Every structure is written in structure tokens, then in C-alpha cells.
């Protein structure tokens, strides 16, 4: 049976920062097996101070990170660019470059596929990849990526292959470009506007248009469907209200 009482000892001679380092310490009999189990199963927010570069390196080793993770990584790494330690600043710059290169590499591969065959799935992927790349770029090139994303959405629309997720992406691209009124026009043409996903989307558009009255009305309509609320809807409402969902 595992026994974690060793943590209560004062002082602990050696406390590894990574699971790999903990395993090596166990092999060298510097620490009990509990140290390896603890380090391998415990979690710590990536942006929690002090920043653990080993954690960043471990996460970055995964080739297919989602947008939420990439945004967290880039946000924290951007702060580290100005670190007084040149090695830390270099690590941050190289890591951001790695994330960007993964997007550009996927985009180039998708474009090569598109040259061979005009595929709705490829167009959809290109629109999504450009949109995600725009999210990690705060500079002027951000709008270029957003316009590229929108251009592939338009091609998808010409093929009459627009699905729910494509409509949602279109609205998000328009909102990111500051075109809230155009996004509202799409909202008014949506089928089944009582759909919870569409209600949340309509609420985002209303907020961007500074239409707080409509935001409140939409919130009330969503709250009237307590039995239908999925995890995303509960999280969305929790952002707007102090109530527990």
C-alpha cells in the first residue's frame, strides 16, 4: 500500500519537478515510489507561478493540441519572452514558433490536398486552422488569417455543404473581424433558433453589438430549459450568472 507520509518530513532533501525526474530518483533510492506516483498523477495549472518549463516541454511534445491549450501556452509563453533569464526567453520564443509552425504545416498539407480534389472536409479544416492561427496572433496578421478562414467558408457555402459547426465558425470569424452586424444577419437566418447552441451563439452576437436587453432575454430563454442544459450550456450560463449550474 502506498504511503505518502514522507511529504510530512522536514525538510525533504530532494523534490523532483517532473515524473521522469521522480522515476530516476526512485531508481537511485533517493525517494520512495510514492514520489513517482504523486508527480505522475498530480496536476498544476501551466500558468501558475513559478512557471515550470518542464511542464511546457511535456505538453508541447504532443503534436495535436487543441485551441484552448494552445492559447494558454502562447499567453504564458508571451509573458516569458521578456524574462531576465535569456535561456527562458529563448525557450519561450522557440516554443511559440513551434506552435505556429504546426499550424502552417497543417495548412500547407491541406492546401496540397485541395489541389488534388475540391473536398468539403478539406475546406472546413482549412477554415478552422486559419481561424485558430488567428487566435494566437494579436498583431495585424491576425485579420489576414481571419479573412483566409472566411474565404474557405465561402467556398464551402458555394458547395452547399454548410453544417451547424460551419455556421458557428462563420459567426465567430465575423465577430473576430468586428463585423457583428453581419454576424447578426446570419443569426436571423438560422434554422431552429431555439437550439441551445444557436441561442448561446445569438447571445454572443448580441453582447458584441452591445444589445444588453437582448442578452438578458436570451439568458432567460436558456434558463427556461433546465432539463435540456448540457455541460457547455451550464458553463456558459455560469459565466453570466452567479448561480450554480
Name the class of domain 48-178.
Answer: mainly alpha
Q: How many helices (H) and strands (E) does the chain have?
A: 12, 0
Contact in structure between 173 and 146 (CB atoms under 8 Å): yes
First vs last Cα of the chain: how many Å apart?
Answer: 38
pLDDT score for 20? 57
Angle at 100 between CA 97 and CA 105, to 5 degrees: 115
pLDDT of residue 233: 74
d(CA 133, CA 128): 9
pLDDT score at 6 = 46
Looking at the chain, the domain(s) classified CATH 1.25.40 span: 48-178
Burial class (CB in 10 A: 0-12, 13-18, 19+), 46: middle
* 214 closest CA partner among 230, 199, 231: 199
Task: Mark 97-127 as b/e (b = at least 16 C-beta within 10 Å).
Answer: eebeebbeebbeebeeebeeeebeebbbbbb
How far apart are alpha carbons 17 and 48 in whole angstroms?
A: 14
List per-residue pLDDT tens for the chain, 245 residues long: 444 454 444 444 555 555 556 666 666 665 666 665 555 554 455 555 657 777 788 888 888 899 989 998 999 899 999 988 899 899 999 999 999 999 999 999 999 999 998 899 999 999 999 999 999 987 789 999 999 999 999 999 999 999 999 999 999 999 999 999 999 999 999 888 888 889 999 999 999 999 999 998 998 888 887 777 777 777 777 777 655 44
- Determine the pLDDT at residue 129: 97
Say if CB 39 and CB 58 are below 8 A apart: no
Would you state the pLDDT for residue 44?
52
Query: Within a 10 A sphere around the Cβ of 35, how many other Cβ atoms?
Result: 23
Q: What is this structure's pTM?
A: 0.76
Amino acid at each position: 500500500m502506498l504511503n505518502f507520509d514522507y511529504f510530512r518530513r522536514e525538510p525533504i532533501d530532494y523534490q523532483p519537478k517532473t515524473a521522469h525526474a521522480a522515476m530516476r530518483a526512485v531508481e537511485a533510492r533517493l525517494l520512495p515510489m510514492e514520489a513517482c506516483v504523486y508527480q505522475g498523477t498530480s496536476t498544476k495549472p501551466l500558468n501558475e507561478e513559478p512557471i515550470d518549463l518542464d511542464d511546457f516541454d511535456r505538453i508541447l511534445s504532443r503534436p495535436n493540441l487543441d485551441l484552448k491549450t494552445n492559447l494558454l501556452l502562447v499567453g504564458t509563453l508571451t509573458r516569458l519572452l521578456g524574462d531576465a533569464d535569456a535561456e527562458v526567453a529563448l525557450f519561450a520564443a522557440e516554443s511559440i514558433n513551434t506552435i505556429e509552425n504546426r499550424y502552417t504545416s497543417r495548412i500547407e498539407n491541406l492546401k496540397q490536398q485541395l489541389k488534388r480534389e475540391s473536398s468539403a472536409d478539406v475546406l472546413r479544416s482549412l477554415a478552422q486552422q486559419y481561424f485558430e492561427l488567428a487566435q494566437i496572433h494579436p498583431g495585424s496578421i491576425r485579420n489576414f488569417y481571419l479573412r483566409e478562414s472566411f474565404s474557405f467558408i465561402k467556398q464551402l457555402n458555394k458547395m452547399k455543404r454548410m453544417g451547424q459547426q460551419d455556421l458557428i465558425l462563420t459567426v465567430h470569424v465575423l465577430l473576430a473581424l468586428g463585423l457583428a452586424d453581419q454576424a447578426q444577419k446570419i443569426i436571423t437566418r438560422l434554422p431552429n433558433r431555439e437550439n441551445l447552441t444557436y441561442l448561446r451563439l445569438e447571445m454572443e452576437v448580441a453582447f458584441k453589438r452591445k444589445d444588453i436587453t437582448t442578452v438578458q432575454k436570451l439568458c432567460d430563454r436558456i434558463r427556461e430549459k433546465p432539463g435540456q442544459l448540457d455541460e457547455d450550456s451550464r458553463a456558459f450560463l455560469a459565466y453570466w450568472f452567479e448561480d450554480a449550474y
